[in-house]
Amino acid sequence: MTREEAKKTIDELIEKIDHYNALYYQESVSEISDYEFDQLLKSLEDLETKFPEFKYDYSPTQRVGGTITKSFDTVTHKNAMLSLSNTYSEEELFDFDKRVEKGLEGQSYEYLCELKFDGVAISLWYENGVLQRAVTRGDGTRGDDITTNARTIRSIPLKLRSVSSMPNEFEVRGEVFMSRKVFDALNAERELKGEALLANPRNTTSGTLKMQDSSVVANRKLDCFLYYFQSDDRVVSTHEKAIHLLEKLGFSISKTYKKCQSIHEVIEYMKEWELKRFDLPLDTDGIVIKVNELNQQDQLGFTAKSPRWAIAYKYKTQSATTRLRGITFQVGRTGAITPVAELEPVLLAGTTVKRASLHNANEIERLELKIGDYVFVEKGGEIIPKVTGVDLENRPYDLEDFVYTEVCPECGTKLFRKEGEAVHYCPNEAGCPPQVLGRIEHFIQRKAMNIESLGPETIRGLLDHGKIKDVADLYALKYDDLNGLEFKIYSDKKEGYSVRSLRDKSARNIINSIENSKSQPFDQLLFGLGIRYVGATVSEKLVEYYKDIHDLANASYEELIEVPEIGERIAESLRLYFDDKNNKELIKRLIGFGLKTKVDETKEKKGNNVLEGKTFVISGVFEKVSRDGLKELIKNQGGKVLSSISSKLDFLVAGDKMGPSKMEKAQKLNIQTISEDDFLNMIGKND
């Protein structure tokens, strides 16, 4: 393929992928299968590797992240990002309408109502249709430059569809959010890993946008709705038209907006969405009312803090009072104890609530809860309602102080609490039923050993009949252990359980899938072991460095924290795990059964890892390979690209037109500066 042909194909592929991507995010329509989509991406990636000079910043292959940002630059907003004034009552809405009417001196006007998305505000700057910069709101005047992270959000177009009325430069604003589904899945995963649960999608979004590693951001599946367009030359006359334009350019907008002719219609809209908003995939906490005509917005202008042409109406958080019948305790896979409030059933935001999370002992103490209290329950952003307070005025006089359990509710072992931690743990790892069951469930899941034909009921049956005690016992199971095995099925609806027995076919299936699981790769086995804080991603990172479980098990704490992205918490947890004699025994048995405890060298990636462990900063313009091409080469050879110069840096690859301050900093810190040729020689590719 000639260079010209390659460029043409790359352009076409980008356009195609962007088209399917926008269709998916704007209309929830998939015209091609995920597989076909991935194939298109792969073709593009291959071409970009062959012709790195055509690897553009706006290519959809650039969304996977990988750049590390040590600290985000603060930048000044071109137009200050103001906030909205809030109201909570219909009366205040009428007052707002009166002010608008007065300000517009008898002109007729209409409103555009939108939902108030509960996420994190973002400002995007486009030049010639290409995303240049993404900035957080910050204090309204200055925000953080989070472009590298924003690029990973697939509903933020890197390159816009061209539209005749598109100005050369403009700003777009909107709200980055995490859908509740993604949030719940993330928390479910954290629970499996024994990590602290995240409070709500909004805080998680905000934390995610400030992460240093953009590849982690890419995995978090953030989303974004845009609701504001501003350019020097006015290309639209109303807010409604601005939204249409945003949509045409390829942005995601929420179709929940509505044009209203009067404040009465606004109130109808507000009421319509009060409950309907819970059916949306994201959290919303109110509505935003905007004067539609942009000239009229100008006439009304701003106060020091907020526009006079818009206002937010916030829904009251849904809350109810009910009686606390009791507090029970749940034991997780890692032995973590979670107290749960057992409530007299109460209707809240459309569903009946019987239980609410109490987090930990400190929370119960903070609330000063007593069994028999009347408590307030709220449904905020989270699906699981929470107890927010006690109705002290209605407290019956004879309630006893609540005493937190000292022993495990499942196995009776004395609980312990680590210094500085709020959560109690049951230390009886080997004998506490929910822990044993939880560990096996974790081990068999698809992302680990993929023995999903073995459901939780069968596992419980095997445990009840003493056929297994831990995950290694699975590999000693024979057909006869399974065929005819009786197990119990509990139902949510009915009390008690029914007994079933395992049929011949299921027994065979299970034996087969256990056998097949022996070929699951090392990193999935490592994840399956359920070591605290070692999730799927951490496992992948670890096996990149330790190709054999023996090496990992023998690595000291000091060595472990040297591994990129492995912090003190993970290192400590790994040491704790591998120092335990029962775990040592378990691993020995797993090796004996033929599980993969080494990296399959034949499947190793393209490069030869000559840059393993080395870090690089790329700066300036290059002759032979593009900046992105250089980055790719470094990554393929096992090196890492950093975004800023620090004393830890190994090499600065300096091109033409590199800024003098960078050079100065590198010299000061004694960082080795190399040219493009030096670098290509280093990896043996200077031809």
Contacts of 33 (CB under 8 A, 6+ apart): none
Is 77 one of the binding residues for ligand IVH (CB under 6 A)?
no
In this structure, is the dihedral angle defined by the CA atoms of residues 57, 69, 538 and 195, taken in order, positive or negative? negative
- Least separation in angstroms between residue 113's CB and ligand IVH is 9
- Per CB under 6 A, the list member of 23, 64, 82, 236 interacting with ligand IVH is 82
Q: How far apart are CA 562 and CA 615, in angstroms?
A: 13
- Least separation in angstroms between residue 395's CB and ligand IVH is 37
Kindly state the DSSP code that residue 160 receives in the 8-state scheme: P
Residue type, 402: F
Please report, as residue ranges, which positions from 192 to 231 form the binding site for ligand IVH (by CB under 6 A). 227-228
Q: How far apart are CA 235 and CA 244, in angstroms?
A: 12
In this structure, is the dihedral angle defined by the CA atoms of residues 474, 480, 486 and 492, taken in order, positive or negative? positive
Whichever of 82 and 198 has its CB closer to ligand IVH, that residue is 82
Span near ligand IVH by CB under 6 A; candidates 114-122, 291-299, 316-324, 477-485: 114-122
Whichever of 307 and 655 has its CB closer to ligand IVH, that residue is 307
Counting residues that bind ligand IVH (by CB under 6 A) gives: 15
- Least separation in angstroms between residue 76's CB and ligand IVH is 17
- Least separation in angstroms between residue 289's CB and ligand IVH is 10
Is 117 one of the binding residues for ligand IVH (CB under 6 A)?
yes
Catalytic residue among 116, 193, 290, 379: 116
**How many C-beta atoms surround the C-beta of residue 629 within 10 A?**
19
Please report, as residue ranges, which positions from 304 to 323 form the binding site for ligand IVH (by CB under 6 A). 307, 310, 312
Whichever of 123 and 458 has its CB closer to ligand IVH, that residue is 123
Among candidate residues 518, 533, 497, 493, the one with its CA nearest the CA of residue 592:
518
Span near ligand IVH by CB under 6 A; candidates 113-121, 245-253, 460-468, 654-662: 113-121
- Least separation in angstroms between residue 139's CB and ligand IVH is 12
Whichever of 83 and 646 has its CB closer to ligand IVH, that residue is 83
Half-sphere exposure of 2 (CA within 13 A, CB side): 3
Question: Which residue number is nearest to ligand IVH in terms of Cβ?
Answer: 121
- Per CB under 6 A, the list member of 68, 121, 343, 555 interacting with ligand IVH is 121
In a 3-state reduction of DSSP, which class is residue 672? strand
- Least separation in angstroms between residue 567's CB and ligand IVH is 32
Among candidate residues 327, 467, 513, 458, the one with its CA nearest the CA of residue 405:
327
Among candidate residues 90, 100, 597, the one with its CA nearest the CA of residue 308:
100
Residue reference for tokens 């009946």: 352
**Structure tokens of 509?**
């299936």
Whichever of 112 and 369 has its CB closer to ligand IVH, that residue is 112
Span near ligand IVH by CB under 6 A; candidates 5-13, 79-87, 188-196, 393-401: 79-87
Q: How far apart are CA 528 and CA 520, in angstroms?
A: 10
Asked if 241 is an active-site residue, the reply is no
DSSP H or E segment with residue 21: helix 3-27
DSSP H or E segment with residue 193: helix 180-193
Whichever of 117 and 402 has its CB closer to ligand IVH, that residue is 117
Q: How far apart are CA 294 and CA 414, in angstroms?
A: 67
458, 502 Cβ separation under 8 angstroms? yes
| Burial (Cβ within 10 Å: 0-12, 13-18, ≥19) of residue 325 | middle
- Per CB under 6 A, the list member of 97, 171, 175, 523 interacting with ligand IVH is 175
Whichever of 67 and 155 has its CB closer to ligand IVH, that residue is 155
- Per CB under 6 A, the list member of 55, 77, 137, 627 interacting with ligand IVH is 137
Whichever of 245 and 312 has its CB closer to ligand IVH, that residue is 312
Is 72 one of the binding residues for ligand IVH (CB under 6 A)?
no
Q: Give the chain's length.
A: 687
Binding mask 266-305 for ligand IVH (x = CB under 6 A): ----------------------x-----------------
Whichever of 122 and 542 has its CB closer to ligand IVH, that residue is 122
Name the pairing type of β-strands 386-390 and 374-379.
antiparallel
Span near ligand IVH by CB under 6 A; candidates 77-85, 350-358, 381-389, 444-452: 77-85
Q: How far apart are CA 28 and CA 78, in angstroms?
A: 33
Q: How far apart are CA 263 and CA 504, in angstroms?
A: 68
258, 113 Cβ separation under 8 angstroms? yes
Q: How far apart are CA 406 and CA 414, in angstroms?
A: 6
- Least separation in angstroms between residue 88's CB and ligand IVH is 14
Q: What is the DSSP string of 169-227?
A: EEEEEEEEE--HHHHHHHHHHHHHHTPPPP--HHHHHHHHHT-SBHHHHHHT--EEEEE
415, 405 Cβ separation under 8 angstroms? yes
- Per CB under 6 A, the list member of 39, 76, 83, 89 interacting with ligand IVH is 83
Span near ligand IVH by CB under 6 A; candidates 13-21, 46-54, 116-124, 570-578: 116-124
Whichever of 87 and 517 has its CB closer to ligand IVH, that residue is 87
Residue type, 463: L
- Least separation in angstroms between residue 118's CB and ligand IVH is 7
- Per CB under 6 A, the list member of 10, 14, 17, 84 interacting with ligand IVH is 84
Residues that bind ligand IVH (CB under 6 A): 82-84, 114, 116-117, 121, 137, 175, 227-228, 288, 307, 310, 312
Kindly list the catalytic residues: 116
